[in-house]
Structures are given as structure tokens and as C-alpha cells.
Chains A and B, each alone.
Chain A
């Protein structure tokens, strides 16, 4: 018991240090600007934005999963609902840390409220995620107070579910309506974002549950094994859809002669693609999908942990791959200043933004588990 307490203390200290480093990073970026990033006027959006997309979509995925017991009223999943809602809130807050440090002038943010542009997908994305955060917090508060299914509480569940459906479509359309960057695939990006969100959300929940079980030795996870096995089947289905979408994407990329697509044939950088092979997709999606087709892997805790960990890392890398591939060549006269093709590796400050976002998220998970009775379900 005391050993566990010691480990818990160490874990909190580690998170505390990470958050202090994160605050220092934020201050440094605020004072010195985004010249600290390995970005330029060609690679405009980099790791912090990729992390934001990944975490925001994961949060949407978690909210959609929470909708199974809370909106679709599949009661047997109720023991997961409170934790899912809490994880969605904490993950979204992590996403906000990443995007906050990506923006050049956070102090001008109030113009989003006072000068809204309703034709901007970025505006809608920010608006929807902000409202979703509020709704999720109120929903969580109602659940915490034991009000799971009053009219008000149900309405909150439905609204958060709908917002979680729309938000990934908005993230996709931020890219999809960029007519000048054809590799972003038009409307397919929105569908792709939704599927990847559901995939990483499910992966995060499974990984979290298995780690939680290991660390706390909490028998609840074992008692609920059949339910987790059912979740793993959902996981395998979503992974299957992502595999199909990825194959369609590869087919277009490899058949196209549009110059911007050719980038996929020669792209080499830190996010998984090497020698023309998309290792992040092979190892981060196809391999876990194949593993998930094996019943014994699906049923074992180790199998769940490995496949969900692979998919979590894989989806982050896939987001980065897509993000960078569309920006790897200079547009118009910028080709006069920059090489025809630009590679990217994050600077230490970009990694620290990532660490900060993760630390905030993990600290919230830890405190939530400790104080907020996340395994509670209605009687």
C-alpha cells in the first residue's frame, strides 16, 4: 500500500515538473514568439497543431462513446459513462493547451466572440469545441450529483453527442475547403477526421482502462471484461473503417499525377514515412487491425493495451503526415525564397508544448480518478 502511495507521489511530482516546464515554455513562446518553432512561411502549422487535432478528435471520440450509454441508452455501458465524459473533458483541455500555444496572439482571442466570421471553419471549430467543453462539464457535474437521466441531463448528453459529431467534421473542413492545397481531399477530410477521432477515442479509453487496472489493481476492470471485449469489437470495426479510408487515400495518391500528390512518393520525415512507405499507417493502423482480428488478442488485456497504444501513436503520426504533406512545398513566389521541398522536425519547444498538453491531461486524469468517483453508475 505504501509502495503504491510512494509511486503515486512520484507520479504527481513528475506531472508537476512537466507542468512547470510547460509554463516556462508558454512564457518563452509568449515573449520570444513562434520563431522558437521549426516552422517558416511554408511549413506554417506543425507539431502543436497536430497535437491539437489529435487530442480534440480523441476527445470527440470519447464523447461519442459516452453517447452509447447516455444518448443511445445502452444501459450496460453505464459504468463507463462517467469516466468517458471526464476523459473527454480532460483530453479537450489538453487540446486547448496545444492550440493556445500555437496561436500567435492569444491576447486578441476575444475578437472570436466580438467579430465572429460565420464562414470560417476555424471559427466554427473553436466555437463548437468551446460549447462542447461547457456542456460536457455541466453534464459531468449533473452525473456527479447523481442526476444521470433527468430531462436536463439527457438534453446535455444529446447536445454533447451532436457537437462531438459535428466538431470533427469542422476540423476536417478547415483543411478540406483549402482549394489551393489539393492533397487535403475536399470533403473526405471531414469523414476521415470523424473516423480517426472515434478510433483514437476508443483506443485511449481501452489503453487507459488497462493501465488503470494494472496500476490500481482494481478488480472492477476484470469484472467488466465482457463489456471491454465488446468495446474492443467496436474498436476493431472502427479500425476497419479507417483501414478502408486509408486504402482509398493511398489509391488516389498513387494513381494521381497532380504534382502536389507526388509529395507522397518522396516524402521523408520524422513522422513515419520512409522510403515511400507509410510506416505510421502500417504499424499504427494496419498491424493493430490485423491483431484485432485475432479473438485471443482482442480478449486479452495485453492485446487490448498493445493494439490501442499502437493506434494512438499511429493516429497522431497520421495527422502529422497529412498536415505536413500539404505544406511541404512553397506556394507561388515563396518558391523564390525556399527550396522546392521542405522537410520538418519539431524543435525542442514544440516537443515541450506536446509535453505540456499531455501533462495537463494526465494530471486531470489522475486527480479525477482520485476524487471524482469515475466508476460510478446510476443504481
Chain B
């Protein structure tokens, strides 16, 4: 059985957000919820400042606090290492969201995709209302509805349960890469079986010293970050007093 992991090459990542957009479309992610997200940071004092961008998603931790704490095993591990959620078993206690050290779980506080129920048109006779668009496309809840998501998870999750990234388990089980990996124009996301020494993931981890988020917590996250985007040059110096 493979153990899936992802390497994110921060030197290649240009912070375009294509991963997050692709993820929304693939997984029918509701407004306000982010399966694929980012941590941005500006360091230094003007004019010596620099911007950092770290793409984030569920780390599919080996010792996942979200799984450990879930009272009904709705949040559970698959044999391939993916941390998976079953909304049918979820009682909406939100303990997993409370427990996840990485802030990647969200709760459906209300019925998702409410925007698309709206009947209002911007220009009468000119534009269609969100609801008309959905009806015209014949989709479920949103015009960009992806029914394939429904293979392993309700394609649209109901209110009252949590949701998060599943490493696109529905694609992976068919031999396809997670959609964020496919969508990345810079090939900054590398996905594969960390147990296979010939996988690109395993090779990269042997070549660079990766870091992981909040490693000290002992969760053994399976998103590895390598390198850093920093083309800056500086004149060799010993500083001064």
C-alpha cells in the first residue's frame, strides 16, 4: 500500500493561487471554506522587506489529532495515509477543527452555496440570476458543480458537518494526481508514494532538507516544503559596528 505525501517546492511556487482555484472547482468547496489555502508573511522593516508565501492544505498527518479526537471515527485514516472524512458519521461537534494544529478544517455553519439560490438579476433582461444559471446548466447547487467529487464523499456537503482536503482521494484512486498538483503551472507541487524510493517525492526529500509545519508537535505531517523563493543577491559582508 502506498503512503501518499506531497512536496511543495517554494522556489518554484509563484503564489498564483491556481491550486486553490482548481481545488474549489474540483471539490465544490463552498464560499468561506478553503481546502487549499496559504500562509503569507511580510518580513523586515521598510524599505528592507520581503514577502513569503507558503501554500497550505491538510497535512495528512500520520498521528493526526483530528482523527484521534473524533468521537465517531467520521475523521479517519485510509491505508494510503490520507486523512478522510465521512460526513454521514459526523455529529458536527467540531472537535477535529478545534484540534487540528494547522487550521485546515472548516465547519459548514449554514447551507453551503447559498449565493446560487439567489433569484435577483443584475440587469433585467440582460443578465441571469445565480439560480437561473444553476438551473440552465442542470447542476447541483453551483453552475461549476463537479459530480465526480461525489464518488467518495457527498459532492456537496450538508450544513452542520466539517470538511477539508482529501488529497483528491477520488482522483488518486483512479490513478490521477490531486487536482492542485495538475493545476500548478510551475510544477511546484510534487505528489507520490513516500515509501517508494524511486518516486519523485522520495528523491526530492533525499536531495533537499525539507521543513514541515509545526513539526515539534509530533503529528508527522506529510506535506514537505523544500527550498525557498529568494532571488535576492547581496554583497559579501562581515557586517560592522
Footprint of B on A, CB under 8 Å? 32-35, 37, 39-41, 44-45, 102-106, 108-109, 111-112, 115-117, 119-123, 126, 174, 177-181, 327, 330-337
Contacts and interface: CB of A to CB of B under 8 A. Distances in A.
Contacts of B72: 108, 111-112, 115-117, 123
Nearest to B95: A122
B69 A104 contact: no
Nearest to A178: B99
Contacts of B162: 104
B93 A104 contact: yes
Nearest to B106: A41
B71 interface: yes
Contact of A111 (B38, B69, B91): B91
B15 interface: no
Contacts of A102: 93
A104 B38 contact: no
Given A33-B159, A45-B94, A178-B65, A333 B71 contact: no
B32 to A, nearest CB: 8
A50 to B, nearest CB: 14
Contacts of A333: 34, 37-39, 56, 102-104
Given A33-B159, A106-B91, A179 B65 contact: yes
Contacts of A327: 98
Contact of A117 (B73, B97, B103, B160): B73
20 contacts: A33-B111, A33-B160, A41-B106, A104-B90, A104-B91, A104-B92, A104-B162, A105-B160, A115-B72, A115-B73, A116-B71, A122-B71, A126-B71, A180-B214, A180-B217, A327-B98, A330-B103, A331-B101, A332-B37, A336-B39
B107 interface: yes
Given A108-B88, A120-B70, A331-B100, A33 B108 contact: yes
Contacts of B34: 333, 337
A111 B103 contact: no
Given A34-B109, A120-B68, A332-B56, A103 B93 contact: yes
Contact of A332 (B89, B107, B213): B213
Contacts of B168: none
Interface of B: 32, 34, 37-40, 56, 65, 68-74, 88-95, 97-104, 106-111, 158-162, 213-214, 217-218
B171 to A, nearest CB: 23
Nearest to B75: A117
Main secondary structure of the interface of B (DSSP, over half): loop
Contacts of A45: 94, 98
A104 B101 contact: no
Given A108-B90, A122-B71, A126-B71, 7 more contacts: A33-B159, A34-B92, A35-B110, A104-B91, A108-B89, A174-B69, A177-B69
Contact of B160 (A104, A119, A178): A104
Given A105-B90, A112-B72, A120 B95 contact: yes
Given A44-B98, A104-B92, A180-B65, A336 B37 contact: yes
List the 10 shortest-distance A-B pairs measured between CB atoms, nearest first.
Answer: A104-B92, A104-B160, A180-B101, A332-B103, A331-B103, A35-B110, A333-B37, A123-B71, A111-B72, A33-B159
Nearest to B218: A179
B78 to A, nearest CB: 16
A174 B93 CA distance: 12
B99 A39 contact: no
B100 A180 contact: yes
Nearest to B63: A179
B97 A44 contact: yes
A116 B91 CA distance: 12
B91 A105 contact: yes
Nearest to A120: B71
Contacts of B100: 180, 331
B103 A120 contact: no
Contacts of B73: 111, 115-117
Of B40, B92, B111, most A-chain CB atoms within 10 Å: B92
Contacts of A122: 69-71, 93, 95
Contact of B161 (A105, A109, A119): A105
Nearest to B112: A33
Contacts of A37: 109
B109 A39 contact: yes
Nearest to B56: A333
Contacts of A111: 72-74, 89, 91
B20 to A, nearest CB: 10
Contact of B109 (A35, A123, A334): A35
Of A40, A330, A332, most B-chain CB atoms within 10 Å: A332
B209 to A, nearest CB: 22
A258 to B, nearest CB: 12
A14 B65 CA distance: 45
Contacts of B68: 117, 119-120, 177
